Amino acid sequence: MKKITIAFDGHSSCGKSTMARQLAQTLGYLYVDTGAMYRAVTLYALQHGLMDESSKQINQDGLQQALPDIQIVQKQEDGKVVTYLNGECVEQEIRQMRVSSCVSPIAALGFVRKHLVACQQQMGVNGGIVMDGRDIGTVVFPNAELKVFVTASSLVRAQRRLAELQAKGDTVLTLEEVQRNIEERDYIDSHREVTPLVQAPDALLLDNSNMTIEEQNQLVMKWAKERIEE
Ligand code: DC
Q: What is the pLDDT along the chain (230 residues), one digit of tens a residue?
A: 889 999 999 998 898 998 999 999 999 999 999 999 999 999 999 999 999 999 999 999 999 999 999 999 999 888 788 999 999 999 999 998 899 889 989 999 999 999 999 999 999 999 999 999 999 999 999 999 999 999 999 999 999 989 988 887 866 789 999 999 899 888 988 888 888 899 999 999 999 999 999 999 999 999 999 999 98
- Measured by CA distance, the residue closest to atom 18 of ligand 1 is 133
Query: Does ligand 1 come within 6 angstroms of the Cβ of 181?
Result: no
Report how far ligand 1's centroid is from the alpha carbon of 1 (Å): 31
Q: Which of 38, 81, 131 to mutate to test the pocket of ligand 1 (most atoms within 8 A of CB)?
A: 38
- Asked if residue 38 has its Cβ within 6 Å of ligand 1, the reply is yes
**85 Cα: distance to centroid of ligand 1 (angstroms):** 17
CB of 189 sitting under 6 A from ligand 1 = yes
Alpha-carbon torsion angle 43, 46, 48, 51, nearest 10? 130
What pLDDT shows up at residue 170? 66
pTM, to two decimals: 0.90
Ligand 1 centre distance from Cα of residue 184 (Å): 13
Render pLDDT for 148-191 as a digit per residue (tens, 0 to 9): 999 999 999 999 989 988 887 866 789 999 999 899 888 988 88
The angle that helices 110-123 and 34-47 make with each other, rounded to 10 degrees, is: 130
> In three state form, how does the secondary structure of 143-186 look?
CCCEEEEEECCHHHHHHHHHHHHHHCCCCCCCHHHHHHHHHHHH
Closest-CA residue to 195 (of 131, 114, 135): 135
Domain 5-228 has CATH 3.90.1150.10: no
The domain limits of the chain are: 5-228
Closest atom, ligand 1, to C-alpha of 17: 1
For ligand 1, say whether the CB of 39 is within 6 Å of any of its atoms: yes
